[in-house]
Chain A
Amino acid sequence: EAGVAQSPRYKIIEKRQSVAFWCNPISGHATLYWYQQILGQGPKLLIQFQNNGVVDDSQLPKDRFSAERLKGVDSTLKIQPAKLEDSAVYLCASSQGGGQLYGYTFGSGTRLTVV
């Protein structure tokens, strides 16, 4: 089966610019997650979707970050405006319903550098 697809792989922007990342989960996976992985740290959950509804966005900096999952399939994560501290790898993951039982599949990530 095809994996979780993410694009772009790399992005370099200046601070205060905006950027968007795209994720296409595994077909049929109802749950989608966006994680932020800062260099030297473990991934941190930003937002979790169940179909097209938000389950958990408690760690999403809502003043600058937004995410949507229209039609319960693809998802887009946006940052506007970007700050230097947003430099990180943004990982998308999906699971077939309960990730604890069925597992989570991660994409290769988008590496964002803010200069």
Chain B
Amino acid sequence: DTGVSQDPRHKITKRGQNVTFRCDPISEHNRLYWYRQTLGQGPEFLTYFQNEAQLEKSRLLSDRFSAERPKGSFSTLEIQRTEQGDSAMYLCASSLSELAGLITDTQYFGPGTRLTVL
């Protein structure tokens, strides 16, 4: 068990460019979550997947954001036409949901990708 990994750890981009982040969850985990954390704040939920299905998206996730988890393993989060307000830490977490929602499972977080939009 190597934990949740994210790539890249840091990304600096110019306004208007597209960026893509990758998250590799803990291998047996079927749920994967994306959060955004701005300076001085706690993480805010963006979206989550059960296997390859995207089950929910926050209203924070504008049309410029898209997330995928094509084979139910790793996930990508793409931001198109980045804006300075997108600068934040993007966190990925995973969990193993065994009982179809009967018991909530602990989420394990990756190290995050820090995005800076100039």
Chain B associates with chain A: no
B→A interface (CB under 8 Å): none
